Chains A and B, each alone.
Chain A
């Protein structure tokens, strides 16, 4: 009984202390920053196809993602990505750059715990679930596609 009251008081305290993000501006910021990241990807993709006309479309997309991932990883390392992230929220999480940031950020942050147990283990704390769920889902899709093909 007493515990319950304490919990309630604590929850109210936490609720009051959580930094409030104003919903409307944050939606707008997520929109235009996310849109710009996609536009940057489109620009890189078209520049690649312009510079290397013989490049296959699929390879150009892979290169585009690799370049975006590099940029995001570097911006994370110099501490800029987190600042943009505070401002744009979903606009920096949802693009592939957010995936890159989710690996780079803990890799650098936990460096002081050692290369193996810090960097190598912690770099997958967010990306791990993403890769696991993605790989499992792709196997399931492949299996279903195989079975449907048999029928």
Chain B
């Protein structure tokens, strides 16, 4: 049952992205930015956690979860370190994802050649 919700909610969020692609010819960069912002706003108003407890990977795997981590990191860092936390928290919370994406991209770009020719 739990897995059904993960699938349904994750699928619906992705379908929302596809609706935007079809209706507005939006580029993928704009979609990613938009969904990150949705995550930031949901977390800022403390709506993300209740959804996350229920939908789990359904909202954490879509890039919305990345936005929520950014905001959540900033908020909890402000609690522990004060104003400095507003600057350190966001990147700290998302460091693993960003570093992994950059690191693997660099590694594979050294090993592989472009297939799109």
The 8 closest A-B pairs by CB, nearest first: A34-B14, A142-B86, A38-B10, A138-B90, A35-B11, A79-B115, A90-B17, A90-B18
Q: Are B109 and A141 in contact (CB under 8 A)?
A: no
Query: What residues make up the interface of B, taking CB atoms closer than 8 Å to A?
Result: 3, 6-22, 28-29, 31-33, 35-37, 40, 43-44, 56-58, 60-63, 65-67, 70-71, 73-75, 77-79, 82-83, 85-87, 89-91, 94, 96-98, 100-102, 104-106, 108-109, 111-116
Question: Separation in Å of the B47 CB from the closest CB of chain A?
Answer: 13
Contacts of A66 in B (CB 8 A): 96-97, 100
Alpha-carbon distance between A97 and B31 when the two chains are bound, in angstroms: 14
User: Known: A62-B97, A69-B97. Is A102-B32 also a contact (CB below 8 A)?
Assistant: yes
The distance in angstroms between the C-alpha atoms of A119 and B105, with both chains bound, is 9
Q: Chain A residues with Cβ under 8 A from B102's Cβ?
A: 103, 123
CB distance from B98 to the nearest CB of A (A): 7
Q: Quick check: B108 and A76 within 8 Å, CB to CB? A: yes
Cα–Cα, bound, A5→B70 (Å):
48
**Which of B18, B78, B83, B91 has the most A CB atoms < 10 Å from its CB?**
B18
B10 and A142: CB pair below 8 A? no
